[in-house]
């Protein structure tokens, strides 16, 4: 293939480069993978309502998330085990995100520490994604370490009381290599090779709304609640002290049959009514996807698989290029829609596609 031009090009190249186990773990979803497909399909159910003669000689993709300036409204989502995709793992992703002028959420199952990531990409907006272990001491230490390393928010993922059945992984017998460094989880897990379901079995399924308050108080960092898809939970998130919510179904990897995140976004945005910031993830592959999510109420999106396709193909340069592609596509979309900045993307810029 010639120079990759799109996220889809990077996806094809990543599949060629990766061994079947890591590729399957990256690309797959849960159950029948209905939700996985829906996340992408939902974007095609909306079309644009462009306005003309708006003076789009200067278009900016810059915005803020939790008060931090980002050059594009796309933050890198937490993705576990990144050394499976490149020897530098999360440090390479961090360099790519920083080069693109955005931030990154680092998984509890990261293969690098927050300090290593901060050193690799000075000035990076780094968020700590938290899974709560049954052993709360492990989680306390993780939070304290993240704050000390300069993380500016905690992303508490709440859609994973158990890991869902991912049949593609089971078919290829995917296991986490025992020598993969997992600084925030290895002490709990031990050294035996394991499949991800065994590792996630150590998480605490009893986590409740009280723990959101505990985590917000303990870490003294703003908490981004990831995995909210109903108005009811969005309301509770705002009441219990979240600073932001991510409308997420874990990229179609948890509850199969959950709606596409784009379909859940309007009810969540309406419920919080500006009290907390709203982000969306799931199926972001084009700048037009970003624009539709912003028009329907998201302040920014998170991208999970897309930057990791870049990571697998070209390390930090690949992550950077994938994010630049999304930024260029978003800038073009804004221009052709008659918008000069992300703030101008309102529901009036989209309409349901004819069925």
Ligand X SMILES: Cc1cc2nc3c(=O)[nH]c(=O)nc-3n(C[C@H](O)[C@H](O)[C@H](O)COP(=O)(O)O)c2cc1C
Binding site for ligand X (CB under 6 A): 25-26, 39, 77-80, 107, 109, 129, 157, 226, 248, 250-251, 253, 281-284, 303-306
Work out how close the CB of 226 gets to ligand X at its nearest, in angstroms, rounded to a whole number: 5
* Residue closer to ligand X (CB basis): 89 or 283: 283
Work out how close the CB of 224 gets to ligand X at its nearest, in angstroms, rounded to a whole number: 10
* Residue closer to ligand X (CB basis): 105 or 345: 105
Active site residue 240: no
Work out how close the CB of 348 gets to ligand X at its nearest, in angstroms, rounded to a whole number: 26
**Catalytic residue, candidates 114, 250, 320, 321:** 250
Work out how close the CB of 319 gets to ligand X at its nearest, in angstroms, rounded to a whole number: 13
* Residue closer to ligand X (CB basis): 59 or 146: 146
* Residue closer to ligand X (CB basis): 257 or 274: 257
Residue nearest to ligand X (CB): 304
* Residue closer to ligand X (CB basis): 281 or 316: 281
Work out how close the CB of 156 gets to ligand X at its nearest, in angstroms, rounded to a whole number: 9
3-state secondary structure the chain: CCCCCCHHHHHHHHHHHCCHHHHHHHHCCCCCCHHHHHHHHHHHHEEECCCCCCCCCCCCCCEEECCEEECCCEEECCCCCHHHCCCCHHHHHHHHHHHCCCCEEECCCCCCCHHHHHHHCCCCCEEEEECCECCHHHHHHHHHHHHHCCCCEEEEECCCCCCCCCHHHHHHCCCECCCCCCCCCHHHHCCCCECHHHHHCCECCCCCHHHHHHHHHHHCCCEEEECCCCHHHHHHHHHCCCCEEEECCHHHCCCECECCHHHHHHHHHHHHCCCCEEEEECCCCCHHHHHHHHHCCCCEEEECHHHHHHHHHHHHHHHHHHHHHHHHHHHHHHHHHCCCCHHHCCHHHEEECCC
By annotation, the residues acting in catalysis are 250
């Amino acid at each position: 293939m010639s120079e990759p031009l799109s996220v889809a090009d990077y996806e094809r190249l990543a599949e060629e480069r990766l061994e079947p186990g890591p590729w399957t773990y990256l690309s797959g979803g849960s159950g029948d993978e209905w939700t996985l497909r829906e996340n992408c399909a939902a974007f095609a159910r909306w079309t644009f309502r462009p306005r003309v003669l708006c003076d789009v000689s200067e278009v900016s993709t810059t915005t803020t998330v939790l008060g931090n300036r980002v050059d594009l409204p796309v933050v890198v989502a937490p993705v576990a085990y990144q050394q499976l995709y490149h020897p530098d793992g999360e440090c390479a992703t961090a360099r790519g995100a920083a080069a693109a002028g955005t931030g990154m959420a680092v998984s509890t199952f990261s293969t690098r520490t927050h300090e290593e990531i901060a050193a690799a990409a000075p000035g990076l907006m780094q968020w700590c994604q938290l899974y709560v272990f049954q052993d709360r001491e492990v989680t306390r230490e993780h939070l304290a370490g993240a704050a000390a390393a300069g993380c500016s928010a905690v992303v508490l993922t709440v859609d994973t009381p158990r890991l869902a059945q991912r049949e593609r992984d089971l078919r290829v017998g995917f296991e986490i290599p025992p020598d993969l460094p997992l600084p925030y989880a290895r002490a709990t897990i031990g050294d035996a090779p394991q499949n991800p379901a065994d590792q996630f079995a150590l998480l605490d399924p009893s986590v409740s709304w009280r723990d959101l308050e505990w985590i917000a108080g303990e870490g003294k960092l703003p908490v981004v609640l990831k995995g909210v898809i109903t108005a009811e939970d969005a309301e509770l998130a705002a009441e219990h002290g979240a600073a932001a919510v991510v409308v997420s179904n874990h990229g179609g990897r948890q509850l199969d049959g959950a709606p596409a995140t784009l379909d859940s976004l309007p009810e969540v945005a309406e419920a919080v009514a500006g009290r907390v910031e709203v982000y969306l993830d799931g199926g972001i592959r084009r700048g037009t996807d970003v624009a539709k999510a912003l028009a329907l109420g998201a302040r920014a999106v998170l991208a999970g698989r897309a930057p990791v396709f870049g990571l697998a193909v070209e390390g930090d340069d690949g992550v950077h290029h994938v994010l630049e592609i999304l930024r260029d596509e978003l800038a073009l979309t804004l221009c052709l829609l008659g918008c000069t900045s992300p703030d101008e993307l309102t529901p009036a810029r989209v309409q349901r596609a004819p069925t």
